Structure 1
Amino acid sequence: MAATAAGRTEFPLTIQEMAQRSGFSEPTLRYYEKVGLLGVVPRDDSSGHRRYDTRLAERVDALACLRSSGMSVADMRRYLTLLAEGDREAAAAQRDLFARHAERLSAEIERLRVRQAYMRGKADMWDARHRGDAAAETRAIEQVERALQDF
């Protein structure tokens, strides 16, 4: 990534630098441009290569945060549309968008907890079997069965 001697990022960034900064792949950045999440990405006059200025890099950073939380492209597009409407005008819709997504994350976390309990039970079962502890194995099997009921 282009950086100054003081460690600050130097803009504009190439697509490779933007990919490194955001964690998105280069094809993902091209796709996000194609579907309108980034708008038109300026090009270098001589080479035609994409160049990401500060404003665009900040947008990519925001999209990276949203995507890392599992937000869909459609919801990211909705977020950007609402953002363009202005803070006050779109505040309730933004709240609803993020609240719905937070609920989806809560449900996903619960599913992960169930899977974790299943895996922990299986590990405990195999550990008990390895040690020859029949009582601990029975408790672990019961834990696995409870987790399976929650699936």
Structure 2
Amino acid sequence: MAAATSEQTADLTVQEMARRSGFSEPTLRYYEKIGLLGAVARDESSGHRRYGPATVARVEALSCLRSSGVTVSGMRRYLDLLAQGDSAAAEQRDLFASQAEKLAADIGQLQLRLTYLRRKADLWDARVRGDAAAEHRATEAVLRVLEQFTH
């Protein structure tokens, strides 16, 4: 527990920040280069990056956005709106609502693909068992799922 506490309060290295955020080290360097992270402090003796609490919080927020499918330009828009404070609250709401709708659509497509894979597994299981009636039902189920892909 002491290690976790010291990692939370001490400045993080790029390796620690990568591990904590899920971003690769090159991604963190790129985000710094394009201005998403602001100025990242450097260790005076080595010149290595040191991520302080404010930068850690920013990277963690960007990690949540990125894992939700937000693009770099979307992250930039979020940060620009964040800098405007409460005056941009409606735009922030719209940004997040729009991304939530997109993510919901993506989840729907993934659920459809999952259903397809399960019905195909059912079909092959029926074939392995030599159950012609179950194979026929599974084939029909696969065709119903395939129809949903085209709508």
TM-score (norm 2): 0.93
The question of whether the paired residues in 2 share the 8 Å contact of 1:117 and 1:143 is answered with no
The question of whether the paired residues in 2 share the 8 Å contact of 1:4 and 1:10 is answered with no
RMSD of aligned C-alpha atoms?
1.4
Relative to structure 2, which stretch is displaced further, 49-58 or 7-16?
7-16
Correspondence for 1:111:
109
Correspondence for 1:77:
76
Correspondence for 1:45:
44
Distance change (3 Å), C-alpha of 1:6 and 1:35: closer
The question of whether the paired residues in 2 share the 8 Å contact of 1:13 and 1:51 is answered with yes
**2:122 matched to 1:138?**
no
Correspondence for 2:13:
14
Amino acid at match of 1:103: E
CA–CA distance in 2 between the matches of 1:94 and 1:54?
23
- 1:4 to partner: Cα distance: 4.1
Higher helix proportion (structure 1 or 2): 2
Amino acid at match of 1:98: F
Amino acid at match of 1:43: R
Amino acid at match of 1:48: G
Correspondence for 2:27:
28
Correspondence for 1:89:
87
SS at match of 2:145: helix
CA–CA distance in 1 between the matches of 2:133 and 2:13?
61
- 1:47 to partner: Cα distance: 1.1
Correspondence for 1:61:
60
TM-score (norm 1): 0.93
Question: Deviations for 1:8-61, whole angstroms, at most 9, x for unmatched residues?
Answer: 423211101111111111001001111111011111122111110001001111
Distance change (3 Å), C-alpha of 1:23 and 1:75: same
Distance change (3 Å), C-alpha of 1:74 and 1:53: same
Structure 1 residue runs of 4 or more that deviate by more than 3 Å after TM superposition: 3-8
SS at match of 1:46: coil
Name the count of aligned residue pairs: 148
Distance change (3 Å), C-alpha of 1:132 and 1:6: closer
